[in-house]
Amino acid sequence: MGRFWSLLFLMVPILGVGLFVLAIAGTELPGLSLRDHWLPENINDGGYIIDDLFNFIMYLTGAIFIATGIALFWFLWKYDAAKNPNPVKFVHGSHTFEVVWSLLPAATLLFIAIFQMDAWANHKMRRPILGPGPDGIEHTADDELKPAMVEVTGRQFEWRIRYAGADGKFDTPDDLHTVNDLHVPVDEDIVIAIKSQDVLHSFFLPNLRLKQDVVPGMKQFVWFHANRTGTFDIVCAELCGWGHYKMRGQISVESRENFDAWFQDEFKEQGRTQLEPSEDEE
């Protein structure tokens, strides 16, 4: 039976890697469709690096997965008590091996960590700027940050959206209000202010590789640079109550002209239907 069990453990790396390969290739077999069973299309300029880092880690860990899986199989196969006539190797360990397999992973892991930092900073720290500020040097503390063009507020169980309008300021008569329907122009740096009105939610745009929990009492900013038009999901990714599953919004990335036209239409519509635009905000 030792042979059988060895082969069973060999199936782990074979089937494990196999399923990933089939999913990445989007294989279609009779009775098994793995189309679109991988990272969804990315439309954010800043999102490619996340996919690259994902793949980098996948190849690295995949190699270790295969190597350890094969080593386990081979040792089980070779040193099966029923087949192995040699006496056991009476050893308590090896200092050299321990040093090697401590230092190599340590260096690799440290490298992975440091390698991620730039992408993390771009996503969460380096908010787009309008200009370098008084000192004339970009990316210093006095940079003039790009203001948010739109504010998204999570509440059970919808996304309330408010545009600053032409004056770039919130709480003015030219604000535009929508629910679950976010429109942004393509090929521009977009900054969004996100808030929560009641409980935790998470503002998750899978196709923009963007996710940020919204926390009651905190105002945060997210940003992206969409590079193609289309309509995509806004997902709530943090448990927010019984209706968590249905807290769905959508983001429409449009050309600047279409966006402006949409904005004008909506604003006129809002003026007709609502006497007081900021009726129950806050």
Partner 1 sequence: MSSTTADSHGQTIDQDHSDRLSISAFIGTYVFSRDHKIIGLQFLFSTLLWFLVGGLLALGIRLQLAWPWEGMPIIGKMLFSAEGGQISPEFYTTLFTMHATVMIFFVIIPILAGAFGNYLIPLMIGADDMAFPTLNMLSYWFMWPAFIFIGMSFFEAPYGAGGGWTSYPTLSVVPEAAPGSESAQTLWLLGVTCVGISSMMGSVNYLTTIIQMRAPGMTMFRLPLTIWSMFITAVLQAFALPVLTAAGVMQLTDRIIGTGFFVPEGLIVNNSAPATGGGQPLLWQHLFWFYSHPAVYIMILPAMGMVSDIIACFSRKPIFGYKPMVYSLCGIAGFGFIVWGHHMFVSGMNPYLGMTFMVSTMMIALPSAVKTFNWLGTIWGGKIQFTTPMLFSLSFVSMFVIGGLSGIFMAATPVDIFIHDTYFIVAHFHYVLFAGTAMAVFGAIYFWFPKMFGRMMNEWWGKVHFFFTFLFLNGTFYPMHILGAVGFPRRLADPYHYETFSHLQPMNQFMTLCAIGMVAVQVIFAANFILSIFMGRPVGRNPWGANGLEWSAPSPPGHGNFDFQPIVYRGPYDYGSPEVDADFYPQIQPPPEGAQVAEEANS
Considering only residues 250-269, where is the footprint of partner 1 by CB under 8 A? none
- Say whether residue 18 binds partner 1 (CB under 8 A): no
Among 100-108, 130-138, 170-178, 184-192, the segment contacting partner 1 (CB under 8 A): 100-108
Q: Does 58 help bind partner 1 (rule: CB under 8 A)?
A: yes
Angle at Cα 247 formed by Cα 245 and Cα 249, nearest 5°? 130
Phi/psi for 75 (5° steps) reads -65, -40
Do residues 187 and 226 make contact, with C-beta atoms less than 8 angstroms apart? yes
What dihedral angle (degrees, nearest 10) is formed by the CA atoms of 119, 120, 126, 127? 110
Please name the amino acid found at residue 136.
G
The number of residues that bind partner 1 (CB under 8 A) is 101
Which run of H or E residues covers position 52?
A: helix 48-78
**What x/- string results for residues 101 through 130 when contact with partner 1 is judged by CB under 8 A?**
xx--xx--xx-xxx-xx-xxx-xxx-----
Nearer to partner 1, 48 or 144 (CB): 48
89 touching partner 1, by CB under 8 A: yes
- Of the residues 29, 88, 141, 275, which one makes contact with partner 1 according to CB under 8 A: 88
Q: Give me the long-range contacts of 46-51 (CB less than 8 A, separation at least 24).
A: 46/119, 46/122, 46/123, 46/209, 46/224, 46/225, 47/208, 47/209, 47/210, 47/224, 49/119, 49/122, 50/119, 50/123, 50/209, 51/209
Measured from the CB atom, the residue of 190 and 240 that comes closer to partner 1 is 240
- What is the pattern of x (binds partner 1, CB under 8 A) and - over residues 155-194? -x--------------------------------------
**23 belongs to the binding site for partner 1 (CB under 8 A):** yes
Question: Which of 248, 255, 256, 265 touches partner 1 (CB under 8 A)?
Answer: 248
For partner 1, give the closer residue by CB, 174 or 233.
Answer: 233
If the CB atoms of residues 75 and 228 are measured against partner 1, the closer one turns out to be 75
Query: Measured from the CB atom, is 145 or 200 closer to partner 1?
Result: 200
Q: Which of 38, 255, 269, 271 binds partner 1 (CB under 8 A)?
A: 38
Closer CB to partner 1, 1 or 275, in the complex: 1
State the amino acid at position 231 in one-letter form.
T
HSE-CB of 135 using CA atoms within 13 angstroms: 7
The angle subtended at Cα 215 by Cα 214 and Cα 216, nearest 5°, is 125
Residues of span 201-240 touching partner 1 by CB under 8 A: 202, 204, 206-207, 209-218, 220, 232-233, 235-240
Instruction: Tell me the closest approach of the beta carbon of residue 184 to partner 1, in angstroms.
Output: 17
Query: Is 76 strand, coil or helix?
Result: helix
- Contact between 59 and partner 1 per CB under 8 A: no
Q: Are the CB atoms for 229 and 255 separated by under 8 Å?
A: yes
Of positions 29, 30, 59, 81, contacts partner 1 by CB under 8 A: 81
Query: CA 233 to CA 212: how far, in whole Å?
Result: 15
